Amino acid sequence: MGGKQVWYRRSVWKQLRGMSSPSVTAVIINFQTPDLTHRAVTSFRHFYPSIPLLIIDNGSAHQSRDLLHQLDPDGPTELLLNPTNLHHGPAMDQALHRITTEFTLFLDSDCEVIGGGFVERMSAALLHDDRNYVAGKRIFMNARGFDVDKSAGAYPYIRPICMMVKRALYLQLPPFEKHGAPCLANMIAATERGLELVHIPIDEYVRHDGRGTAARFGYQLGLKGRLNHLLNRLGL
C-alpha cells in the first residue's frame, strides 16, 4: 500500500511540474505596504511567471494604490481595489468567492519566494486525497488563536503566510474572519469534519519577515482583539 501511495504522489507531482499553469490562482493582499508587496510579487513571478495572480488592496491610500498599478504589467495579474479595509481574513474570503480555480494559493505581502517547487508540492498534496483541505506550515493553537505545543485541546492550524486551499471544501465551511488567527474557526470546523491540514515545510521555499503590515499599522482588531489577548494571558 505504501509503495502505491508514493508512486501516486510522484506521478501527480511530475504531471503538475509539466504544466505551465496548474489549476491555481495566487492571492496577495496589500494594505499600505506596496514595497513589501512589490518584493512578494516579483519574487513569486521569478519562479511562476504564468500562474494567475490576484492582488487585493484593502483600502490603502492613493499613493500606495498608484504603485500597485505599476506591478507586474506583463503577468496574468488582476488588481482589486477595496474602498475600505476589510481586514485580512475577510479579504481572503472575498478572493475565494471571486476566483474559480480549484486551488487558491495565499502568499503574505511580507514574503519573499526564494525557491520554486512549492506550488507543485502543495497541489500534489491536495490532489492526493479528497479529504486533504489545506496545505502549508502546520502549527497548533488554542481556542483563542495563540500558539501552543501539540497537546490535548490544541487545534492544528496553518497560517496563511503561504497556504494553499481547496476552494470547493472552503465554501462548505465557516468563512475566514477578522481575527489574529483568521482561519481558526474555519480549520477547527474542517478538522471536526475529518478534513486534513497537510504540513508542507514552506520555509524551504519562502522567507517570511513576520508581521510586515502589522508591525507598521497593528492588527486593528479593536476592543475584541485586546480582550481576547487579555483572557488568553489569564488562561481563560
Q: Are 71 and 37 in contact (CB under 8 A)?
A: yes
The set of residues, in sequence order, having a beta carbon less than 8 Å from that of 116 and lying 6+ positions away, is: 47, 48, 205
104-128 pLDDT, tens digit each: 999 999 999 999 999 999 999 999 9
Residue 85 has pLDDT above 70, yes or no: yes
Domain count, the chain: 1
pLDDT reported for residue 220: 57
172-209 pLDDT, tens digit each: 999 999 988 999 999 999 999 999 999 999 999 999 98
12-69 pLDDT, tens digit each: 444 444 444 459 999 999 999 999 999 999 999 999 999 999 999 999 988 788 888 8
Share of the chain above pLDDT 90, in %: 65
pLDDT reported for residue 179: 87
Closest CA to 169 of 197, 136, 144: 197
Give 3-state DSSP helix, strand, coil % of the chain, rounded to 5: 40, 20, 40
pLDDT reported for residue 7: 34
DSSP states of 123-137 as a string?
HHHHHH-TTEEEEE-
pLDDT reported for residue 2: 36
Closest CA to 182 of 106, 130, 79, 80: 106
Q: In terms of residue numbers, what domain contains 221?
A: 2-233
pLDDT reported for residue 128: 95
Residue 227 has pLDDT above 70, yes or no: no
The CATH number given to whatever domain includes residue 179 is 3.90.550.10
pLDDT reported for residue 230: 54
Task: State pTM to two decimals.
Answer: 0.80
Q: Are 205 and 116 in contact (CB under 8 A)?
A: yes
Closest CA to 117 of 235, 184, 189, 206: 206
